[in-house]
Structure 1
Amino acid sequence: MYVIVGLGNPGKDYALTRHNIGFIFVDYLAAEHGLTFKGSKWQAETVKGQLWGQSVLLVKPQTYMNKSGLAVGQIANFYQVPNENIIVVHDDLDLELGRTKIVVNRGAGGHNGIRSLIEHLGGNDFVRFRFGIGRPQTAEAVSNYVLSRFSSPEQQVLAESLANLEQGVALLVSQGVMVAMNKVNSEKD
């Protein structure tokens, strides 16, 4: 089994913001595959299905970004899923909008949601899809930027990028992390 975690914050105020790209992606996956999220006992919305020939659990922690590890740790323990079968999609300021990089065995890099996951999973050996949201063009505070919604032109880039991100996750699930890393990390903008 694979667990695909989209990081984000619950509630209408955060819906479709840059910081919620993980939620946006797992919502996209669920819609593409005819799955519907429901609440669970792990402080998360979850849905289980067969994707790319594998049993997959999609997860949206409802603990707020900085405590995402609480929910994901409980889910990993319940299903006895090894860290290497946990795939996390999160926002990354250091990548251009829509650009994706796969990393494993890396530190949090200042991302509090990732820090929480490392703490509650007991290591950093889970797979991360860093999804670029870009940096603010002005002196706007980063906290305001990550909590802002995508502009209309950015939404077009986002729509195309979600399909590419799904291809990367599908490749990882079907052929392994090294094959996926070689393909996704070598793609040019």
Structure 2
Amino acid sequence: MKLIVGLGNPGKKYGKTRHNVGFEALDLLFERWSGEVPRAKFDSRVAECRIGSEKSLLIWPQTYMNRSGFAVQQAVAFYKAPLENVLIICDDFNLPLGRLRYRAGGSSGGQNGLKDIIRAVGSEEAPRLRIGVGPVPERWDAADFVLGRFTAEEADEAQAAVGRAADSVALWAQSGIADAMNQYN
């Protein structure tokens, strides 16, 4: 079982913000691969699907970004999932808008949702897909920036990046992190 976690904040207030590109990527995956209606489990919305031949669980934590670890830790423990089978999809304001970056593991890079997941699961070894939403404009607070919506000029590029991210997850699920890194980084 592959666990695919999209990070974001629940509620209409946060819809279409930079911080919610992880949720948006999962929404696209759900449209493409799932026939099951999402249900509440692990303090999340979850939906089972098959991505190619891989049985997968899409997970939208409903605990807010900075508390995502609790939801992810519950799912990992329930499925006894090795961390290499868990993909975290999140925003990254240090990457230029539209850029994708896969990593097999490592630090949070300042992304608070990822930081909470690392703390909760006790390891930095979960693969992650970062979607670039940056850079933060000069004299802007990073938190205000990521909680803001894309400008009209940025919206098309942001949506294209979310689409590429969803496309890339199918490759990750079926072929692994190395192939996803080689093709999408």
Question: TM range, normalised to the smaller chain?
Answer: over 0.9
Q: TM-score, normalised by structure 1?
A: 0.92
5+ residue gaps, structure 2, are none
1:100-129 Cα deviation digits (max 9, x unpaired):
001122111222111111111121111100
Aligned length: 185
Work out whether residues 30 and 37 of structure 1, in 8 Å CA contact, stay in contact via their aligned partners in 2: no
In the alignment, what sits opposite 2:122? 122
Per the TM alignment, residue 35 of structure 1 is displaced from its structure 2 partner at its CA by 4.1
Where in structure 2 are the equivalents of 1:34-183 lying within 5 Å?
34-35=34-35, 37-183=37-183
Distance 1:35 1:27, change over 3 A: farther
SS of structure 2 residue aligned to 1:92: strand
Q: What CA distance in whole angstroms lies between the structure 2 residues aligned with 1:75 and 1:180? A: 23
**Is the 8 Å Cα contact of residues 18 and 133 (structure 1) preserved in structure 2?**
yes
Aligned-residue CA RMSD in angstroms? 1.5
Conserved? CA contact 2:26–2:166, under 8 Å: no
Deviation at 1:34? 4.6
Distance 2:128 2:49 in 1: 21
Deviations 1:36-61 (CA, angstroms, capped at 9, x unpaired): 55332310000001112110100010
CA distance in 1, matches of 2:39, 2:121: 21
TM-score (norm 2): 0.93
Letter in 2 for 1:149: R
**Per the alignment, in what secondary structure is the counterpart of residue 98 of structure 1?**
coil
Paired-residue identity, %: 36
Paired with 2:142 and 2:66, the residues of 1 have a C-alpha distance of: 16
1:20 has 2:15 as partner: no
Correspondence for 2:11? 11
Residues 1:172 and 1:34: Cα distance change in structure 2 (over 3 Å): closer
Q: Structure 1: state its 5+ residue gaps.
A: none
Range moving further from structure 2, 18-27 or 148-157: 148-157
Q: Whole-Å Cα distance in 2 between the matches of residues 82 and 118 of structure 1?
A: 14
Give 3-state SS (helix, strand or coil) of 2:14's partner.
coil
Partners of 1:143 and 1:32 lie apart in 2 by 31
Q: Deviations over 1:151-183 (max 9, x none)?
A: 223221122222221232111111111111112
CA distance in 1, matches of 2:21, 2:166: 13
Distance 2:151 2:115 in 1: 29
Tell me how far 1:18 sits from its aligned partner.
0.3
Which secondary structure does the structure 2 equivalent of 1:94 belong to?
A: strand
d(CA) in 1 for partners of 2:141, 2:41: 36
